[in-house]
Structure 1
């Protein structure tokens, strides 16, 4: 899953949210210096990723994508699923999406010193363009995909995935809705286990 889902699946625990968000910026176990609950958020992130990567519905979504993306399929589906989470946000949260996004940006800014360098570099762009909020529109997702393609020096062709999104819009949304219920259940169970260790 992409940024918004990882943050949301951390529930109301701020340190868990930070860990879940920064996990992709941390290699291996180079996080032992961080607060314990942030470390637990990193572990939760990795459980979510493992579950997502092996889930049959996610695999079905990947198969819908044009073959040109090759091993970038998973990244694209993560981004597309975040679109559906943002678009349908009111089904999952009582807090308005823009308010939720701004609160999270403040949380990261207030904890800037513990963020990995990769995340520190990304954060100003994320805040300036309000990524979490703009995931809700097709135009917002297109901007993300264009940016991702640039980061891969145009190798990934991810900018073209907006065509796949539009072609299979309802199918992808159905996949997301079904899969996300499974993922919410998994995350709820794992959060209880991780926080009680």
Structure 2
């Protein structure tokens, strides 16, 4: 799962949102340095990644990509799935969560800005770029996907064909969309159960 999915799966719980974002930047036992609820958000991020990496539909999507993109297939799958979450955003709704992607994106940016000082320097840099370029809203557009995938290609020093991942998405759009639509209810149910475990003990 990429940024949009992790934010969405945080159920609009402020400290879970912060922790879920920090999951990409906090390693090992460093999560214990944060307040309890933020630490739970970091652990939720890790639980989501573990569940996702082992799910048969995700493995199926990765297999579709592997011949073309090798070890980068899971990374590209994450980005593709954020696109389809953006496209189908109004199909999914948690309690008190806007059905409009733009409104949700603004809420996330405001939440991160409010907690800016908690974020480590690299997370601050990523957040500022995310907000400035409005990544979360743009994930839903093909233009946004092209920019995200081109950015991945520039950062991947030893992968020379990642620039082809945008054309691959367009050529296989329906089948990858079908994978996403089958998978996403499963991750929503998993997170619902995990949050109940965290907060109802």
TM-score by length of 2: 0.93
Q: Offset at 1:155?
A: 2.4
Name the counterpart of 1:159: 163
- Name the CA distance, whole Å, in 2 between partners of 1:157 and 1:112: 36
Greater shift, 178-187 or 90-99, is seen at 90-99
The answer to whether residue 182 in structure 2 is matched with residue 178 in structure 1 is yes
Q: Offset at 1:195?
A: 2.4
SS in 1 for 2:30: coil
Name the counterpart of 1:71: 71
TM-score by length of 1: 0.95
Greater RCO, 1 or 2 (C-alpha within 8 Å, sep 6+): 1
Query: Tell me, which stretches of 5 or more residues in structure 2 are unaligned?
Result: none
Residues 153 and 82 of structure 1: CA distance in aligned 2, closer, same or farther (over 3 Å): same
Q: Deviation above 6 Å: which 4+ runs of structure 1?
A: none
SS in 2 for 1:65: helix
Maintained 8 Å contact 1:20/1:44: yes
- Name the CA distance, whole Å, in 1 between partners of 2:113 and 2:158: 31
Greater shift, 134-143 or 62-71, is seen at 62-71
Q: Offset at 1:158?
A: 2.7
Q: Offset at 1:156?
A: 6.0
Residues 163 and 66 of structure 1: CA distance in aligned 2, closer, same or farther (over 3 Å): farther
- Matched positions, count: 197
Name the counterpart of 2:117: 113
Greater shift, 100-109 or 146-155, is seen at 146-155
Query: Tell me, which stretches of 5 or more residues in structure 1 are unaligned?
Result: none
